[in-house]
Amino acid sequence: FKQKTAYDISLGLVGSEMCIRDSNKTMNETQKLISFCKEQVIAGRNITIKNASLLFNLDNFFLTHLSDAANEITRQFHGSKIDIEQLANIKKNYCSEDCSFCSQSAFFDTGIDKYELMSPEEVVKEATKAKQTGADSYCLVAAWKEPSNDDFTKVCNIIKEVNDKVGISIECSLGFLTTEQAITLKQLGVIRYNHNLETSKSKFPDICTTHTYQDRVDTLNIAKNAGLELCTGGIIGMGETKKQREELIFEIASFQPEEVTINLLVPIPGTPLEIQKPIKIEEIIRVFATLRFLLPKSIIKISGGREVNLVDDGQKLLLSGANGIISSGYLTMNGNSPEKDIKMLKKINLEV
């Protein structure tokens, strides 16, 4: 045992004080970065990619500061209004694509029930119910790679019927589109086209092999060039790295979409991702919060999986940058009732 001298003790104290000073300096600089970026966004200026990356990669200690700032940006641009959307899976059947998360892929035995394209009367009935229960928009989704000419004509008839008899904002998610089809949807009054990137470019080959990431990019560009608003996003929790989630965020933001939809993977038995473990809430928060800094005017929606992955049904995320939810279920999964979601929103002083 070596007895400490007064000099040793003095060095130890100095070292502790230096650590505290360095820690305080880092904390102050980080808080200043968050505040600076927030003020830039609120003033209508874009933050740099470098600063956005710094925000995304902050230590968990600063996540509360980051989410509070994202919430301020959300309230500044969107008030307390939450966009509620309902989906219509107008054709639930086996799809020709091998997306490894999907219960509707013909490559996997997931035991889903299936049906052909719904009739206009059925869709009108469901759209009416959605509007009556508080939905702002109604998205028509079909399980196929792309619509055939015959199926596309049928979808157009459905859109006309919903426009005439319901009067709710219509969105579509019909897979890959031609330029002519995109123009037709725009002429029919479709507001927004949904086509998710699904995951980052570097992760995509692990998730799907029957089409490419570029195919999805091309469809988004076709829809945008036809004058349709864009809704795009992806699924997090599919085994991607943190760096790949950051990559996805920047790829989404590059399209400047009017709406972003972020799904939280629900592992489906029978799919390659059936044993995938959920990611931590901290990693989910940093995705939503950073997206808000990059896309202050967009609707950022918590989509599939919130009821399964989040113990609070999304309350924390709705105070961390998100300002939209999907209610009443998803393509092959049940969700919360509109009544339960409305009650949840009121609990955190947000409006339908």
What are the tens digits of pLDDT across the range 11-62? 344 445 544 455 676 788 999 999 999 999 999 999 999 999 999 999 999 9
- Listed in sequence order, the residues at least 6 apart from 251 whose beta carbon sits closer than 8 Å to its beta carbon are 197, 200, 201
Share of the chain above pLDDT 70, in %: 88
Q: Is 247 exposed, middle or buried (0-12, 13-18, 19+ CB in 10 A)?
A: middle
Q: Are 106 and 95 in contact (CB under 8 A)?
A: yes
263 - beta bridge partners?
Answer: 235
Residue 10 has pLDDT above 70, yes or no: no
Q: Are 209 and 189 in contact (CB under 8 A)?
A: no
pTM of the model: 0.89
Range with the lowest mean pLDDT among 116-130, 231-245, 247-261?
116-130
Residue 2 has pLDDT above 90, yes or no: no
Give the number of C-alpha atoms closer than 13 A to the C-alpha of residue 300, restricted to the C-beta side: 31
85 - beta bridge partners?
Answer: 137, 326
Matching residue, tokens 């230590």: 59
pLDDT at 142: 86
Using alpha carbons, select from 301, 320, 322 the residue that is nearest to residue 136. 301
- pLDDT tens per residue across span 271-303: 999 999 999 999 999 999 999 999 999 999 999
